[in-house]
């Protein structure tokens, strides 16, 4: 007989094995599993103001850690509140496990009319059904009879493994009587995968989702099927793909690498850097790929987003004859409203679910298998043409010609405007800062600002939920607190977006983290005004007194030091950013930055124009 353990404790042990040290969510009467978290010395319950914020916090935590995050909610009212944040994690490939405490199996079998149900037949399956399209995998214990001591643990482990391998959310529903049910502890001996490690070849084909198939079909003329027809073994296909890519690289005169979001999600940024440096290849990033590689590297060319790129960047990328597009997520804001102008015939895309070479797709291949094998193959090519145009003086001349520089211009007025603000804060950033930008002016403002070499930049460019950044900042700060490296966490959020989720500043104060919260006070939803409704009342907001936020949210018993600031002119902001005491991350700081209504970064203005043109097309 194997050792037995309560199922709730099994779950906690598995989460710890996956590297989780913080658990986000809101308590509810069906969440008996929280007792296991509460009593465990190695995992902490964060506790959020609401479930939506908890999902955002889990998203930020997972991005900074590069691994799993967990949110726990109660059945019905709690889980539905979290779904917007879970959807964002799905869209942007973030591994978040959503654990839902549900009514007991006995009450569900009787179809009892309980609180949090809909007073309709089938109420107990409605919510999990709603979550199904937002999950890569589900473990619904009420629908699985525990025939053996491993039945439930195997179901849980499958969903957890799917989340880790696919970097997508998963859903686990645990009835109240299941938490204390005795199960086998045998599964704890099985090693869990990590999102950055290559999955077994046989699991690649099995993990192709409808979303993956659609994405693959949209980038090639191949008709990708999810029915898993008979194929050659994945390792043979991978070897063929590597050879095909190497042959194309051999013929190239002007090769470039374009780094996008999923290169980071699957831990491939280091492999890309090896390829860049080992073969002397110019590399560029997309807005969603910012900071994945060193933006001060001599081979870095800038940020490419189609028509919303700097001219020199756009010219060089679109003149390439070989583009290795690593981890692409070609959303509208990430591609200049789909204005990427790269010939598909010379493009190779690496994904976790497929590789496309020109118009051909290889859906049993995985970026985590292909990319490491490209370096030796490419090195052979480079060594065979030692006098290549990609090396030596010509490469250095290209770097100087296309280099993006962050020069702080002289302010043109006594107001703080975007043209001056973003280069200025770019010079203020410390080397290991974690930088979070809200969907809006800040994410566009930092697009072409060089970030420090070891910084971490996170923004929700695809899903684009306003208010996401405040919850994500909490999760990011909690992850930074874990590693003990004293990294600063810096948030830029507009006054409108802040109003959706500002309660989590209270959680930051309660949990003792010390982020810098830059609140851009420009009197409303500026990104919306730039896109549509410049003078419309629906883009106005109730103006808050931001200087009262921290005292109000801290209350009378808070032990976390905090301080608020108001800056209205460039000279005031300069003085603050240069202050030695201000640069010590020893307290939570809210910096209210007054900016004129109607002012916006050039990138946002261009994107707004591109969006308007796209919307006008019939």
Annotated binding site: 495, 522, 524
Cα of first residue to Cα of last residue in the chain, in angstroms, is: 67
Contact assessment for residue 476 and residue 64, using Cβ atoms and an 8 Å cutoff: yes
3-class SS of residue 461: coil
State how beta strands 434-437 and 489-494 pair: parallel
Q: Compute the distance between CA of residue 296 and CA of residue 302 in angstroms, rounded to an integer.
A: 10
Q: How many Cα atoms within 13 Å fall on the side-chain side of residue 455?
A: 25
Q: Compute the distance between CA of residue 553 and CA of residue 550 in angstroms, rounded to an integer.
A: 5
Contact assessment for residue 357 and residue 372, using Cβ atoms and an 8 Å cutoff: no
Active site residue 464: yes
Catalytic residue among 50, 334, 448, 522: 522
Q: Compute the distance between CA of residue 558 and CA of residue 356 in angstroms, rounded to an integer.
A: 54
Contacts (Cβ under 8 Å, ≥6 apart) of 390? 255, 279, 280, 281, 282, 382
Active site residue 116: yes
Catalytic residue among 8, 336, 524, 603: 524
Catalytic residue among 44, 143, 482, 528: 528
Helix and strand counts by DSSP (H, E) for the chain: 24, 21
Active site residue 267: no
Q: How large is the angle between the packed helices 367-384 and 269-279, nearest 10 degrees? A: 10
Phi/psi at 541 (5° precision): -135, 165
Beta partners for residue 362, in sequence order? 355
Catalytic residue among 349, 495, 504, 526: 495
Catalytic residue among 187, 464, 467, 496: 464
Active site residue 29: yes
Judged on CB neighbours under 10 Å (0-12, 13-18, 19+), 430 is middle
Q: Which residues are annotated as a binding site for Mg(2+)?
A: 495, 522, 524
Q: Compute the distance between CA of residue 140 and CA of residue 121 in angstroms, rounded to an integer.
A: 18
Active site residue 392: no
Contact assessment for residue 492 and residue 112, using Cβ atoms and an 8 Å cutoff: no
Active site residue 495: yes
Q: Alpha helices of 328-467 — where are they, by DSSP H?
A: 367-384, 393-402, 418-428, 441-445
Catalytic residue among 25, 33, 51, 85: 51
Catalytic residue among 42, 111, 115, 532: 115
CA distances from 177 to 25, 72, 76, 104, 607 (A): 20, 17, 17, 5, 52
Judged on CB neighbours under 10 Å (0-12, 13-18, 19+), 443 is buried
- Residues serving a catalytic function are 29, 51, 115-116, 464, 495, 522, 524, 528
């Amino acid at each position: 007989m194997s050792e037995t353990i309560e199922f709730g404790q099994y779950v906690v042990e598995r989460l710890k094995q996956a590297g989780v040290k913080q658990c986000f969510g809101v308590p509810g009467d069906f969440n008996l599993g929280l007792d296991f978290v509460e009593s465990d010395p190695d995992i902490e319950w964060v506790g959020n103001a609401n479930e939506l914020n908890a999902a955002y916090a889990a998203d930020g935590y997972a991005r900074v850690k590069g691994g799993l995050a967990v949110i726990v909610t109660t059945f019905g009212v709690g889980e539905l509140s979290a779904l917007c944040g879970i959807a964002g994690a799905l869209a942007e490939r973030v591994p978040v496990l959503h654990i839902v405490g549900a009514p007991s199996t006995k009450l569900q079998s009787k179809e009892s009319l309980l609180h949090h149900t809909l007073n309709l037949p089938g109420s107990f399956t409605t919510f999990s059904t709603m979550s199904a399209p937002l999950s890569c995998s589900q473990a619904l214990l009420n629908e699985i009879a525990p025939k053996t001591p491993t039945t439930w643990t195997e179901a849980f482990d499958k969903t957890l493994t799917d989340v880790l391998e696919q970097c997508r959310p998963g859903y686990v529903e645990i009835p109240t009587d299941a938490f204390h049910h005795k199960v086998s502890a045998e599964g704890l001996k099985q090693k869990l995968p990590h999102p950055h490690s290559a999955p077994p070849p046989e699991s690649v084909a099995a993990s192709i989702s409808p979303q993956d198939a659609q994405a693959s079909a949209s980038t090639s003329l191949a008709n990708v099927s999810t029915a898993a027809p008979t194929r050659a073994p994945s390792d043979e296909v991978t070897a063929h793909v590597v050879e095909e890519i190497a042959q194309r690289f051999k013929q190239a005169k002007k090769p470039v690498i374009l780094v996008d979001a999923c290169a980071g999600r699957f831990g491939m940024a280091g492999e890309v850097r090896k390829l860049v440096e080992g073969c002397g290849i110019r590399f560029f990033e997309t807005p969603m790929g910012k900071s994945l590689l060193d933006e001060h590297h001599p081979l870095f060319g800038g940020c490419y987003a189609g028509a919303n790129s700097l001219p020199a960047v756009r010219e060089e990328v679109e003149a390439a004859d070989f583009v290795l597009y690593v981890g692409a997520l070609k959303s509208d804001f990430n591609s200049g409203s789909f204005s990427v102008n790269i010939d598909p015939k010379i493009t190779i895309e690496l994904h976790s679910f497929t590789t496309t070479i020109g118009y051909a797709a290889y859906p049993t291949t995985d970026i985590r298998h292909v990319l490491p094998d490209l370096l030796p193959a490419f090195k052979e090519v480079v060594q065979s043409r030692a006098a290549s145009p990609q090396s030596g003086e010509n490469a250095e001349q290209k770097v100087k010609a296309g280099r993006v520089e962050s020069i702080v211009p002289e302010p043109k007025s006594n107001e703080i405007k975007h043209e001056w603000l973003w280069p200025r804060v770019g010079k203020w950033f410390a080397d290991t800062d974690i930088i979070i930008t809200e969907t809006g002016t800040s994410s566009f403002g930092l697009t072409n600002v060089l970030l420090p070499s070891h910084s971490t930049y996170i923004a929700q460019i695809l899903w684009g939920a306003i208010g996401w950044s405040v919850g994500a900042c909490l999760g990011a700060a909690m992850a930074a607190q874990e590693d003990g490296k004293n990294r600063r966490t810096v948030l830029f959020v507009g006054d409108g977006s802040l109003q959706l989720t500002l309660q989590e500043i209270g959680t930051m104060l309660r949990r003792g983290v010390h982020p810098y919260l830059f609140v851009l006070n420009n009197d409303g939803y500026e990104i919306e005004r730039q896109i549509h409704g410049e003078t419309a009342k629906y883009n106005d907001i109730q103006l808050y007194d931001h200087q009262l936020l921290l005292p109000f949210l801290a209350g009378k018993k808070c032990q976390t030091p905090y301080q608020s600031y108001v800056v209205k002119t460039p000279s005031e902001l300069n003085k603050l950013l240069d202050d030695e005491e201000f640069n010590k991350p020893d307290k939570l700081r809210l910096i209210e930055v007054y900016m004129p209504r109607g002012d916006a970064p050039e990138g946002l203005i261009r994107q707004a124009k591109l969006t308007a043109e796209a919307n006008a097309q019939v």
